Amino acid sequence: MQLAALPYIVKIMPNASSPPSNPLVVAVAYDGLCTFEFGVAVEVFALPRPEMGKDWYRFAVAGIDAGEMRALGGVRIVADGGADLIGQAGTVIVPGWRGSEAPVPPVLIEALRKAHERGARILSICSGVFVLAAAGLLAGKRATTHWRYSEKLRELYPDITVVPDVLYIDEGNVLTSAGSAAGIDLCLHLVRRDFGTKAANMVARRLVVPPHRDGGQAQYVESSVPEPHERSRLGPLIDRMRANISADYTVATLAELAGMSERTFLRRFAAATGVTPARWLLSERLSRARTLLEDTVMPIELIAETAGFGAAGTLRHHFRQQFATTPIAYRTRFGAKSA
């Protein structure tokens, strides 16, 4: 099975600090705060995690409206400080916004622009993308948001390349995510970018969520697998593929194992996972390779074989294509040190 490239995959920046030189994460609070999106930022970055060591993130909340602010669900928020906190942050999170056409206060626009100019990372979750757009941080860049808002974002900001069918997009220091729960994927991606796969997996385990869904995965699927007998076939098949990720799979072989025609198998697999079998395999194999690079001193050639790439050159090709780095550079940054 030919392994197609994953569109809009995030890139691991080889020159990024590890851990970040400025660990302060500041979440923006506002009257009408989107509670779930805000909670995602709190859960990933604000919880004490002594097991992560002294370099783990610090967290603060910057309120942009005076006094006590309301959050959806009857919650009221009193922030740690005002927009001046954004000026101290290494990472700023905009967790949703009041509406796609709701005006963004000039004080917030100015604070975000200054933070971006000095190199801070700016993240948006769901409708928070409209704040980044209003600040001019997305001009000429790719961005995503909840599928319900994609057309409105494209209409209001034609200089942004809107990608409506992905979970998140990493443009370096500006990162955007789709609807609500995709914010978890984006935040875990940032943890992975800063501290590696093992740390992101630990956070995901505590959250009880999948440790990794790549940015190019669809926001939603039109339907789940409807027939119980087909569900019972695909689940064990996916487990089998994951357990023996280095095997040579073809669509014909997988369809036969699932007891379906090739056309039905492709349709049902995409409905169940949101991706094609080839793309699913590539994502799983890259994840396996990254884990081996982090946790072992296994030679690159053996990692390529174990993870299902066959040859080291193939592994290097996909690493460079998907992460803009090499397996050796990734190991140097995140992995066990060679003897």
Predicted confidence band at 336 (pLDDT cuts at 50, 70, 90)? Answer: low
165-203 pLDDT, tens digit each: 888 999 999 999 998 888 999 999 999 889 888 888 888
Mean per-residue pLDDT of the chain: 86
Lowest mean pLDDT across 84-93, 211-220, 252-261: 211-220
End-to-end CA distance of the chain: 36
β-pair type (75-77, 69-71): antiparallel
Q: Residue 91: what pLDDT?
A: 98
Cα 44 from Cα 57, distance rounded (Å) = 9
Predicted confidence band at 16 (pLDDT cuts at 50, 70, 90)? Answer: very low
Q: Beta-carbon neighbour count of residue 250 at 10 Å?
A: 12
Percentage, residues of the chain above pLDDT 70: 87
What letter represents residue 242's amino acid? Answer: R
119 near 173, Cβ under 8 Å? yes
CATH 3.40.140.10 fits 279-334, yes or no: no
β-pair type (168-170, 174-177): antiparallel
Cα 50 from Cα 242, distance rounded (Å) = 32
User: Which residues on neighbouring strands pair with residue 257, listed in sequence order?
Assistant: none
Q: What angle do CA 51, 56, 339 make, to 5 degrees?
A: 70
- State how far Cα 206 lies from the chain centre: 17
By CB atoms closer than 10 A (0-12, 13-18, 19+), residue 326 is: middle
Residues contacting residue 277 through CB under 8 Å, at least 6 positions apart? 1, 249, 251, 254, 266, 269
Domain boundaries, the chain: 24-195, 228-273, 279-334
115-172 pLDDT, tens digit each: 999 999 999 999 999 999 999 999 999 999 998 999 999 999 999 999 988 889 999 9
- DSSP code of residue 213: -
Q: Residue 199: what pLDDT?
A: 87
70-112 pLDDT, tens digit each: 999 999 999 999 999 999 999 999 999 999 999 999 999 999 9
For residue 37, how many C-alpha atoms fall within 13 Å in the half-sphere facing its CB?
A: 32
Highest mean pLDDT among 210-219, 222-231, 272-281: 272-281
Residue 327 has pLDDT above 50, yes or no: yes
Considering only CA atoms, which of 179, 120, 176, 131 is closest in space to residue 156? 131
Cα maximum dimension of the chain: 63
Considering only CA atoms, which of 322, 90, 96, 95 is closest in space to residue 215? 322
Query: Alpha-carbon Rg of the chain, whole angstroms?
Result: 21
For residue 334, how many C-alpha atoms fall within 13 Å in the half-sphere facing its CB?
A: 28
Residue 317 has pLDDT above 50, yes or no: yes
Residue 213 has pLDDT above 80, yes or no: no
pTM: 0.70
162 near 153, Cβ under 8 Å? yes
Cα 115 from Cα 92, distance rounded (Å) = 8
Instruction: Supply φ then ψ for residue 2, to 5 degrees.
Output: -70, 135
Predicted confidence band at 223 (pLDDT cuts at 50, 70, 90)? Answer: very low
Q: Residue 179: what pLDDT?
A: 84
In this structure, which topology does domain 24-195 adopt according to CATH? Rossmann fold (3.40.50)
Cα 10 from Cα 317, distance rounded (Å) = 15
Highest mean pLDDT among 105-114, 227-236, 254-263: 105-114
Cα 303 from Cα 300, distance rounded (Å) = 5
